Structure 1
């Protein structure tokens, strides 16, 4: 998420960075990809980047944003926790029924009435917290509007911190980096990696800042190249959108039918522990159905569909107009400074150099 007035750690405004610069901060150091936006590594003619963050891409613009991925699993996990706690309470009531002298129904009601109200209150609060987190994360996701990169205008549009007012900034002024932070657990030294991007505010006095944890420097480079190759490279090098499996009821039904059809065809075992293939045995198929019943069947997928719809808000009319393709004669061109610097860094890469030592060798 972008946050305002958080760029002081890297001293972005007081000392504007350059592509290839290494800058130390309190817990580590950062290597900058821009400005001006430079390649993160050597690009071969057939090099392309695949990204699941590409929501839409065409000749005019590309949208980068979060997918509604994992929401169904989050709801399933929450329901399983709620129902597991409910089963514990039910077992207590059943135990009361077996230990009470009288009819089982009377014993069950007696056990229900004698269980302390704290247990009921805890169960209600626990269920409420689970659903509060579920709904809150859905609305948090909906507030994360995608970043739109307009290739022909060479501009970037973003809605900072869930604002309804878009910010448009020049592409070549975007600051981006990968940061390596080191910390200790007492016995081990740990390194964490963060991809960062800062978009200038309209008044030019500060930045809206994006930080995303990544697994490695390579992943940060791929994130950057997804944006840069679309904006600055010919179409044959544009990034590709990775296939995305939508978590909805249609997907659940199709998967369930596939598993059932495979199970009927056989061969079928009585017991196996290959839970990645529910059709492998009676036991794994029973486990598959028990899991989904405990997780409230299709409700998690309905929540996932609802969350996905929350994010599909209509764009303001001025941004719809801004997003339209331009006649080729009106396309903005890369600056002479960017083209000259890119030519130098490509020679630097061809000679075996890296982005991190570009500043020390550039002409």
Structure 2
């Protein structure tokens, strides 16, 4: 029988030890999540928008003070009120100062009609008191983000802790804790807002406390359900057998496996808080005038929608883009931390 080695040549490495070596570098949990996250281009764009918006809101504290956005000259209201968007003297359609005033059929240059100084223009127009909508939208964005992130702290510190304790202990304690959540969820938060408004006065603090007292119940239920599932896994039982403390097991083993669900829930809660604030502003329980938020600007714009639609469009577009960015960013993080979730 002819030797088979005379017809075939072995290619590649001839050392079995070299064949078993793993050439791919080992990645940590965060490095592997970042690698998967970068593949989702939509999520990357949403992350850039969210990060840019947060940084812009922080920088705007110096560039656009709240006082300059709220103040107006009562002697110049007739000159600067309800001005349409205008971008210098560029003459771009929609940003040229031309607008069809209520009762007219033809578009006119409102800046000339109201005798606004030639070098004065407002890129997003003005409101009924002559205040710049651009400045008020920037301040409103800042206030809305402040309310949202402050309320989310209740999610992080109360909701996650409450859910971990309830799911880990289980039994009668879990049953009692879940009934408490049901009682809290059944209370209309408008009643709480009204009571806090009477106690602390109408303002940002009352809204944060009122929304924060209810927002954590959703994430607490999710964390509790995940804890009930994960605490029976083999690696958790092994950790308990080896004598690890409950706190260490929760921090080192439970929370990392829940991270995707927690982040998605938080990303959903942020726009939900902003929408809740908008609802409160619509019934005059929002931030105290003249301070503006996206919700209060939308509420003010609704009253003048028929005649000056740009006053509603500006904050509404900002709110929609911001909410959509948080949603897409959250979905991208969920898929990065938990690849199986995108396959289900």
Per the normalisation by structure 2, the TM-score is 0.24
Normalized per residue, which structure has more strand? Answer: 1
Per the normalisation by structure 1, the TM-score is 0.23
Q: Which protein has greater RCO, CA pairs closer than 8 Å, 6+ apart?
A: 1
